[in-house]
Amino acid sequence: MQSSDYYQTLEIDRQATAGEIRQAFRRLAKRYHPDKNPRREKSVEQRFYQICFAYETLRDSQQKFRYDLTLRVAKREQNLYDVYLERLRKTQQIREKYELMFHELLNRNHEAGIRTYEQLQRSNRKFCIDDFLSYEDSRDCEFLIAEAYQIRGNYQMAMRIYESLLLYEKHRPVFHHFTEEIKEQLKKIYFRYLVQPGSLEDIPTNLEKIRMLNLSKRETAWIYKKLSEFYLEIHWIGKAKEMLQMAFELHPHLTGAKKICQKLGLEYLSLEITDLSPQNGKTKNRVPYSEGATRACCRSSGL
């Protein structure tokens, strides 16, 4: 396992002696050993592993020499890259500004990347990334722009760019691996607007967008259940029951259904069945009761 800087991991200077390296390891190993942290074993386990790996590298003189050489090369390359970025930041050349935007976003400098993107938009009404970057780099860049907007909380802009990327992939696919990631991000945004709509009239539109993502029945059912909970919060009981029924029709074994049925004044029935699968032996599981289209029976005139 590689750490960004083994000296930082051991909290020592790069000029530390062998004795100082050993002392630092012992001090940190005691502090972060899982046995010394019984209530947070998982949280310290990775840190402890990083400490051990750094120590095993720096305690050996040959490994330490090779690692120090790697750090020097990396620092030299970083310095050259910083100089290159600084030159791009001062340039007035449009093409280089596109490169700057791309590199800022790649380095997760979201504010700087978006600032350059918006400057380019303001300076040219016919702004188009494809005029200066290859088709593949343009789509990469747009994905990074959408991600940056999403992180900054501008979900409308992020949504618009993600949706355009799906259209690009439909007509000229180049990033098949991106499609699922884009859908995942859109699902988060659509769901956000679904349960926090600007107005109730927006819900059908946002719900239709979610349907068009072709999510699994389980995921779609979970969304209907969350929408049912939203309607319940605003005391629209009829709609809450309708959404819940749609959720059960898609996924009969919907989790968390008993609680919302109780809140809606409905009776949730379940039966015990025997699981005879060889790997599990003979066990009993609670599953929603099967009646009609749903296998969770909510007794009410509403369902």
E strand or H helix at 287? strand 283-288
Q: What average pLDDT does the segment 198-204 reach?
A: 84
pLDDT > 50? residue 282: no
Q: What torsion do the CA atoms of 113, 103, 165, 195 make, to the nearest 10 degrees? A: -40
Give the confidence band of 268 by pLDDT, cuts at 50, 70, 90: low
Query: b or e along 158-195 (b: 16 or more beta carbons within 10 Å of the residue's beta carbon)?
Result: bbebbeebeebbeeeeeeeebeeebbebbbebbbebbb
Give the confidence band of 251 by pLDDT, cuts at 50, 70, 90: confident
Domains defined for the chain, CATH in brackets: 1-90 (1.10.287.110), 128-215 (no CATH), 216-303 (no CATH)
Alpha helices, DSSP H only, in 91-211? 94-106, 110-123, 135-152, 155-171, 176-195, 203-211
Give the confidence band of 271 by pLDDT, cuts at 50, 70, 90: very low
Contact 240, 228 (CB under 8 A): yes
Give the confidence band of 2 by pLDDT, cuts at 50, 70, 90: very low
Instruction: Assign 87 to helix, strand or coil.
Output: helix
CA contacts within 13 A on the Cβ side of 194: 24
Contact 230, 238 (CB under 8 A): no
287: left (phi over 0), alpha (psi -120 to 50) or beta: beta
pLDDT > 60? residue 297: no
Instruction: Assign 38 to helix, strand or coil.
Output: coil
Q: Which of 32-46, 102-116, 189-203, 288-302 has the lowest mean pLDDT?
A: 288-302
What is the side-by-side order of every strand in the sheet holding 297-299?
283-288, 267-275, 297-299
Contact 101, 116 (CB under 8 A): yes
Alpha-carbon distance of 229 to 243, in angstroms, equals 9
pLDDT > 70? residue 220: yes
Alpha-carbon distance of 297 to 238, in angstroms, equals 17
The whole-number pLDDT of residue 252 equals 83
Q: How many CB atoms lie within 10 A of CB 34?
A: 15
Reported pTM: 0.59
> What are the tens digits of pLDDT across the range 221-233?
888 888 898 898 8
